[in-house]
Chain A
Amino acid sequence: MKVKLKVENLTKIFEFNGNKVKALDNINLDVYENEFLTVMGPSGCGKTTLLRIIAGLDYPTEGRVLLDGREVKGPGADRGVVFQQYTLMPWRTVLKNVTFGLELKGIPKKERIEIAKKFIKMVGLEGFEDAYPYQLSGGMQQRVAIARTLANDPEIVLMDEPFAALDAQTRNILQNELLKIWEKEKKTVFFVTHSVDEAIYLSDRVVVLTARPGRIKEIVKIDLERPRDRTSIEFLEYRKKILNILRDEVLKSLKQR
């Protein structure tokens, strides 16, 4: 298996008014091509920080991130991000939000509309091309955000708890759609969540981080056929296993407050 993304000896120390807080401690991680990898851990463990460093929106204190062997130096279109908060441009229609990255790449108008329409259809929003974000529900906005990221054809898709703000039903539906798109588009996905259920349902491998400072505690390979049954015995066994790994860390993170 080809390594798509390599995180090497990565340490991140934040400084607030002279106080140093170590968020990530010596993370080493390989993400393989076409893999769906999920990172999870107790809140404050640095999982979002790790994603932001990979995206180039934050810088490591030590270590580095390599994408296809090239060191990441800042944000770029090769690493698409779907954020937890809604980040659509409110003055642009759905279509124009999805063409945003394509405009920047200088793709001709006709072609970029074609690409955008394909991805809008893929996320199930056909007919909403001319709607504005404020006219859409939270779930629909996240679909647009996913379409926007995919239309840009990144090497890897980074997703930071993209469904955290949604209700359970919408969440499950979007998880299924995400899997379908992932299988069809053959993308490498780096997914951050705090939901054990979501992690097992989606991922090839689940990386569990320790409480702050975040270190890799264990990497769990999920050997289940897709589509997965959330109520099957095997699924529940994985659930038990990961919850056990997490328990001590959650207790530790509660003591840190």
Chain B
Amino acid sequence: MKIKDIVLKIVTPLGVVVLWEVLAIYLNNPVILPRVEAVINVLIHPFQGILGTGSLIDNTIISIKRVLSGFLLASIMAIPLGILMGYYKTINSLFDTLIELLRPIPPLAWVPLSLAWFGLGEMSMIFIIFIGAFFPILINTISGVKSVPNPLIEAALTLGAKGKDILIKVVIPASSPSILTGLRVGAGIAWMCVVAAEMLPSSNAGLGYLIMYAYSLSRMDVVIACMVVIGLIGLVLDRGLRYIEDKYFVWRKMMK
């Protein structure tokens, strides 16, 4: 049963790779579709310099650093704000309209303003990532805090808890699974945003930059290799945070 499951899970991706290789041989044009071996060749030499822009690893690390900066900044601001907005009606009313107006704006629509405010460089890219991660973290935090069951709060009150204890010992732990979900979604969006931000003209390193640069040199093998790395890192990020959710928040099923 388990082996069958594994086979079922890899048969489709494997099929795609086979189809890709057949098509690549048939087209015989690496500018449109490179051979699978060419991409693998890039991937198995991650420390080798590519097109004079540093290695695959160098560029990946630069992208990860940017994501971390923007993501941490977003978490530091969104989690406390979300807790306050979820807990205090007044604060919620103060910020709610503004947030609902800003939230639908795609992070990339902020690019011109970001470039104008922070200039060409790191800060403007981190700002785009920050915008991307901020809202999912905020929204999940607010909904987590709002959905803390009232009987839990009442039980704590009758055990002698006061306002601050309720917040620290009941509301925050009870909403932590929801906050983590927000972090997971936010991290995914941050990762997408970094690649997009690095494709901007001001960028000179990172996976997004490498994709665009390789494209300008018609090196589609490098383009696809970068895409594979982006996909893998996104997958690891998501699975890692899901693992934490499952391991530390098993009790979550009881909160329903």
Interface residues of A, CB < 8 Å — how many? 30
Least CB distance from A13 to B in Å reads 21
Chain B residues closer than 8 Å to A222, beta-carbon distance: none
Q: How large is the interface on B (under 10, 10 to 19, 20 to 34, 35 or more residues)?
A: 20 to 34
A80-B159 CB under 8 A given contacts A87-B154, A104-B165:
yes
- Known contacts A77-B158, A100-B159; A87/B152 CB under 8 A: yes
Q: Using Cβ atoms and an 8 Å threshold, which residues of chain A touch B152?
A: 87, 89
Cβ–Cβ < 8 Å partners of B169 in chain A: 100, 103-104
**A132 & B160 in contact (Cβ 8 Å cutoff):** no
Which interface residue of A77, A91, A103 has the most chain B CB atoms within 10 A?
A: A91
Contacts of B173 in A (CB 8 A): 89, 91
Known contacts A83-B154, A87-B151; is-contact A134 B254 (Cβ 8 Å): yes
Which of B152, B158, B249 lies at the interface centre, i.e. has the most chain A CB atoms within 10 A of its CB?
Answer: B158
- A90 touching B255 by the CB < 8 A rule? yes
> Is the beta-carbon distance between A83 and B151 smaller than 8 angstroms?
yes
Residues of B contacting A149 with CB < 8 Å? 159
Do the beta carbons of A80 and B250 come within 8 Å of each other? no
The 0/1 profile, CB within 8 Å of B marked 1, for residues 164-190 of chain A is: 000000000000000000000000000
Q: How many inter-chain contacts with C-beta < 8 Å in the A-B complex?
A: 71
Give the residues in chain B near A83, CB-CB below 8 Å: 151, 154-155
Instruction: Encode contact with B along A104-118: 1 for CB under 8 Å, 0 otherwise.
Output: 110000000000000
- Whether B170 sits at the interface, judged by CB under 8 Å, is yes
Specify the chain A residue showing the minimal Cβ separation from B170.
A89
A57 touches B154 (CB 8 A): yes
Does B105 lie at the interface of the complex (its beta carbon under 8 Å from any beta carbon of A)? no
Binding site for A on B (CB under 8 A): 151-152, 154-161, 165, 169-170, 173-174, 176, 249-255
* A/B interface sample: 12 pairs, CB < 8 A: A55-B158, A56-B158, A57-B154, A76-B160, A83-B151, A83-B155, A90-B251, A91-B174, A91-B176, A100-B159, A100-B169, A158-B158
